[in-house]
Structure formats: structure tokens, C-alpha cells
Amino acid sequence: MDTHHDSHEGGGSFWSAANVFIGLAFGVFALGAGAVLIVGGLGKSFGSKKAPDAAHAPAAAAPAAATPTATAPVAVPSSVKEEGGAAVVTLKPGAANPMSFDVTNFTVKSGQAVKLTFDNDSTTPLQHNWVLGAAGSKDRLIAAANGMMAEMTKWMARGYIPEGPDVLAHTKLLNPKEKETVDFTAPKEKGDYPYLCTFPGHSMIMQGTMKVE
Ligand SMILES: [Cu+2]
């Protein structure tokens, strides 16, 4: 598959550190709020080393700033449209949950040219990327992303992009307010292709499906 990247500059370490901290804050909040999905996912990735048990982390301890409250519409809505035979897709972090994609599924044609922009336009200081996986690879990519937790410095330099043939296309790691457009050709084979943010700890929630038909 032909993939073009506009830029390969690495992300700043400040944002990585901030992102990890915020990720942990979200985890604490999730424990307090009893969000079963997040607790299950983070429990696996953080283990008992970092996740305080519920008795020592009351919900009141969660920082209010990390709690998404607004559902205000983004200035330019994300969209999927056709231009000159190509699928032109714009994604942003979700307005209600900044650790999600606002568009969680879209459809392209077999072999179609795709121009996808991921615009990390969020008020929350989180780094994100966008990784398109092979059909059926979602669980492997989630495991790979969470496994990077043990070697954050090594993987930060690689934009937290997993290695191997499961990755079909991807953006670089985007700091807040950064965006990148990637051009790629949709797979010939029809099916459901997962996309994820593979920043460690994000992919259990921050995911979607590109349907090829
Ligand atoms: Cu992310």
C-alpha cells in the first residue's frame, strides 16, 4: 500500500510527559466513576504498580480539569466526502471524550484513493496518532500499543506506531493543535479495517472502523 506522509518530525517530550500524566488522571477518574470499560483496559495496562486501589482513590480526588464536560460543537465539523473520485476524510478527537475519535466509522470503496486528515484540535493537551490496521488486527494493535508502556522513550521516537504488517497507514504523533494529512489507497479486499490511536492507553476507547465496500 502506498502511504505518503507530509512530515516525520517527532513529538515533543513535554507533551508526551503531559499526556502520560493526563492519561493516569483519566484512569483515576475512571476508577472513581466506575467506568467498567476504562477500568478493565487500564487495569491491564497499568497493573497494580500505578493504579491506586479504589479505597485510596475516591472519586473526589479526580481532578476536575481532566473531566470532559462540554459537548460544544467543533468549529469545523469532521466529515467524509468524495472529491474527484477520492474519499476525503477529516477526523478530530471527540468533543465529549477527547480520548476518542469524533468519527468512529466511515466507508470507502475498494481501491479508492483516500485523503485522510487527523486534526488534533482539542482543548485537552493530549498527543494522538491515527493508525489504520489490517482487517482483524485490532486486538493485536491494542496489545502492541499497551505494551509500549514499558519503553515509552523508545516508542515515543517512533510516534508510538506499532511495527509489522498490521499497520497499513498512519499519521505521525500529533501534538495538540497539530494536524496531518495522509494519502493512501484503500485495500482492494472488502471488509472492516480498524483504526486506532496507538498512544499507550488510548486505543481501548480511541478507535473506529473504516469499511471497504
Ligand atoms: Cu490518542
- pLDDT value at position 79? 78
Q: Which is it for strands 131-133 and 167-170: parallel, antiparallel or unpaired?
A: antiparallel
Distance in angstroms (rounded) separating the CA atoms of residues 181 and 65: 30
Number of domains in the chain: 1
| pTM, rounded to two decimals | 0.68
- pLDDT value at position 18? 53
User: Domain range for residue 86?
Assistant: 1-68+76-213
Q: Measured in angstroms, how far is the CA atom of residue 130 from the centroid of ligand 1?
A: 8
Q: Measured in angstroms, how far is the CA atom of residue 187 from the centroid of ligand 1?
A: 24
Q: Are 120 and 174 in contact (CB under 8 A)?
A: yes
Q: Which residues contact 61 (CB under 8 A, 6 or more apart)?
A: 28, 32
- pLDDT value at position 59? 44
Q: Measured in angstroms, how far is the CA atom of residue 126 from the centroid of ligand 1?
A: 7
Q: Measured in angstroms, how far is the CA atom of residue 128 from the centroid of ligand 1?
A: 4
Say how many CA atoms lie within 13 Å of 22 toward its Cβ.
Answer: 22
pLDDT digit string (tens) for the chain, length 213 residues: 445 554 444 444 555 555 554 544 444 334 333 333 333 334 344 433 444 444 444 444 444 444 444 444 444 446 789 899 999 999 999 999 999 999 999 999 999 999 999 999 988 999 999 999 999 999 999 999 999 999 999 999 999 999 999 999 999 999 999 999 999 999 999 999 999 999 999 999 999 999 999
The CATH number covering residue 114 comes to 2.60.40.420
What's the grid cell of residue 126? 493530549
As a whole number, the mean pLDDT across the chain is: 77
Q: Measured in angstroms, how far is the CA atom of residue 141 from the centroid of ligand 1?
A: 13
Q: Measured in angstroms, how far is the CA atom of residue 96 from the centroid of ligand 1?
A: 14
Q: Measured in angstroms, how far is the CA atom of residue 84 from the centroid of ligand 1?
A: 31
Encode burial over 17-52: b for 16+ CB neighbours within 10 A, e otherwise.
ebbbebbbbbbbbbbbeebeebbebbeebbeeeebe
- pLDDT value at position 122? 85
- What angle (nearest 5°) sits at the alpha carbon of residue 200, between those of residues 42 and 119? 120
Q: Measured in angstroms, how far is the CA atom of residue 13 from the centroid of ligand 1?
A: 15
- pLDDT value at position 13? 53
